[in-house]
Amino acid sequence: MLQIGRPFLYYEYLLIPFIFSFFKNYFFRFFAVLILFVSDLLITVSKIYYFDAFNFLQKLNSIFISSFKLRTWLLILMSFIFIVLLIHILVKKSVLSSINISKNDKKFGLYFFIIGFLTTFCIDSFFGSSSLNYKPNGKLNYNFSQPMATLLFQDAKIYFNKYLKVSQIKNFKNIREGQSISFKYLINDTSSKQALIIVESWGLDRDLINRNKQLKSLFDLDSFGYKIQFDSSLFFGGTTLAEVRELYNKSGEAYYSIIQNSSSDALSLPQSKNNTGYNTISLQSFSGYYSNGYHFRKIAGFNQIKDFSYFKDSGPLNFNNHYISVNDETVFDYGLKLISTQKKAFLYVLTINTHLPFRAQGNKSELQSQYNRITEQFAHLAKLLKQYPVNKLVIVGDHPPPFYTRKELDQYSSRFVPAVIITHN
């Protein structure tokens, strides 16, 4: 939680005795505490997914179309019941329930908030955050406290912001001020069959042995006339920011500008390919509803766009996470077969099966299971490339997998994502 900026304490929790000192009604007290807790949970979970709270709320319904095991849903239900009971005990049975018996209780609530606020503020200042924002002083990197209202207000500004035109937004700055991986290797490439695959939650493994093991099937393609090159890229934010990074060479705000204005005045990678006679194809194994994905791809200039609604009867459904989808391999099959029949084609695939939270396989951890799933996808791609040669294929991660624990997070670079460039003449 600390890795994503979740503080030890939100200032608003100090208001509970103050609220109780002015309001006796059980239901008012109960829902006041419940609202605080739900707001806390909303902010925390949305940050895990790199969303602002309000955009995350729009996508919350995706949780309810998942196919997790019954025990997972039972755990969620039991957690909810536990929270309700905990709040009930806090309101009805704890020492707080006796507040508002005497006139002095109102003073107690006010004094508690003032003293609690000042004490917390002093601790916060000690940890380098006197402005109530997370600003580590370089010695103590602890996010001790923050105001929940400020975070929600900041998220609201993001959600309701009026974005600049795409052309006015800064270009993505990669390593040594370079372009995005796809622009670097594809924008000026004139070969007839090209493809870009953005792999969901594919991080740069710090362990070189693990990294090479995962990529072995792709490296082995050098025996079949392919040249294999490994590269890496800086990343910022979540999947939508990665898409605009690779398709527009723009910073993440450009994605929201395109969606908000329903247009783009900057040249995208697919538009560039359209201008030189390529058939541009966008495929994904999940619904184009998420993040207005279909809308974004249409404006980006793809001639053909296909998502879960097209592939749902083409292969088995995938339940690695809460996104209903087919196996990404089904989309790989369709895409590489399709461009093999084209004179000039540019294929773009966005995967989803490796999105977190990831259902663990057997007795393996979530970390190992997600790693294995990406390895499976690369093995399948290698097999396809032997049957359907592609002149230039770029595979790049969108962002590292946002695991929970420090041990899991340390498995991957916090600044870079990997890329593989596969060339066949």
Distance from the Cα of residue 97 to its chain's centroid? 41
Same domain, residue pair 93 and 187? no
Q: What is the CATH number of the domain that holds 296?
A: 3.40.720.10
Query: What is residue 138's predicted lDDT score, i.e. its pLDDT?
Result: 41
Q: Which residues pair with 234 in a beta bridge?
A: 416
Same domain, residue pair 261 and 210? yes
pLDDT in tens, 155-181: 888 778 888 999 999 999 999 889 999
pLDDT in tens, 187-201: 999 999 999 999 999
Q: Which residues contact 269 (CB under 8 A, 6 or more apart)?
A: 182, 183, 186, 187, 196, 246, 247, 248, 249, 300, 346
Same domain, residue pair 148 and 176? no
Mean pLDDT computed over every residue of the chain: 88
- pTM value surpassing 0.85: no
- The end-to-end CA distance of the chain, in Å, is 47
Block residue for tokens 């109102």: 106
Domain end, chosen from 115, 133, 160, is at 160
Query: What is residue 329's predicted lDDT score, i.e. its pLDDT?
Result: 98
Residue 331: domain span: 167-424
Query: What is residue 72's predicted lDDT score, i.e. its pLDDT?
Result: 78
Q: How many CA atoms lie within 13 A of 262 on its CB side?
A: 0
Same domain, residue pair 269 and 417? yes
Same domain, residue pair 171 and 132? no
Torsion-angle region of residue 378: left (phi > 0), alpha (psi -120 to 50) or beta?
alpha
Cis amide leading into 401 (omega within 30): no
pLDDT reading at 323 higher than 90: no
Same domain, residue pair 132 and 189? no
The angle formed by the CA atoms of residues 173, 187 and 211, to the nearest 5 degrees, is: 65
pLDDT reading at 133 higher than 60: no
pLDDT reading at 229 higher than 90: yes
